[in-house]
Amino acid sequence: MTACLEDIACALVGGGKGILAIDESSDTIKKRFDAISLESTEENRRDYREMLLSSVEAMSQYISGVIFHQETIRQKSLKGSLFMDLLKTVGSIPGVKVDIGARPLAGFPGERLTEGLDGLRKRLNEYSRLGLRFAKWRTVISIDHVGLPTMAAVRKNAQALARYAALCQESGILPVIEPEVLMDGIPGDHSIDRCYEVTKYVLEEAFTALREAYVKFEGLLLKPNMVIDGKEARRASIDEVAEKTIRCLKQTVPAAVPGIAFLSGGQSAEEATAHLSAMNAGSNSYPWVLTFSYGRALQTAALIAWGGKRKNVLDGQRALIHRAKMNSLAALGQWSQDAESSS
């Protein structure tokens, strides 16, 4: 079983490819549609996802897998094909977000605990029968200058991640674990060094919990935040973000983990690309592959170009192809500003 999961993991992170996350909650996708004055109906969400997923060039050349929202699993294109089947025709791997979101953690103001473990074994078995090959669980860790996160909040979220991962491996589904230290934070003006300190602690606790749950590191992927200063205190250079992120990962992530697929976490699309490329350009000696698992950083330009109009589908797809190609170059350490401008 572990060997099979490791094969899926390697396929998701190898060859300069990465993961497209289209697993936004209803509230999140509504906010994105609001930005283009589009109502968030089931039909509009389906049309948007079809625009992205039917881009053969993006899906076949640059995107190794797609994280679906549960709504998307059974959605069909206008021609009647399941979205999952569209992926399979181009060799991209379907996955699904299985948590049901972060809720306020009782007794811990400003902190949240991700829920969704109830009934998860049954859901995972169903997803496996449907052909989904990997799953994702996101925890969110609030950060401030001193008090947050608390030890209790970090450990409770780490234990939930570990239980989720163990259930995934039991079902033959690759777990992607996403312990995200939030860039916006409270109030979001923390330094990169504070982010380093908290990210290191969060990853240490996550892998301790995974080890205690007998989760096989060879059969999972990590989707972490980059070590970066807060949204209201952006001062760190591209090289500093890359250096501190790599240093943090080397101190916390076991070499047995096949790959690390970063989230973009509030960065601009180009920032997320530049940081990833700087990490991959710096060395070839990492024990794990470094690539991307971006949502907004891959989608925003495509969403704006599409604008909710079917006549703009090709424009949206061209924007997606460009960003996917740039991030593929970054996964190989070959992105440059010249490539960004000339592509």
The active-site residue, picked from 178, 180, 200, 325, is 178
Task: Find, among 268, 258, 247, 270, the residue nearest to 223 by Cα.
Answer: 258
6 is catalytic: no
Pairing of strands 289-294, 259-262: parallel
The active-site residue, picked from 17, 223, 244, 325, is 223
Q: How far apart are CA 258 and CA 323, in angstroms?
A: 24
88 is catalytic: no
For the record, the structure tokens of 9 come out as 């993991």
DSSP state of 229: -
Residue type at 154?
Answer: V
For the record, the structure tokens of 260 come out as 């690390």
Q: Vertex 35, ends 31 and 38: CA angle to 5°?
A: 85
Instruction: Give DSSP secondary structure letters for 76-123.
Output: B-TTS-BHHHHHHHTTPEEEEE----EEE-TTSTT-EEE---TTHHHH
Task: Find, among 120, 6, 4, 36, the residue nearest to 70 by Cα.
Answer: 120
Catalytic residues: 178, 223
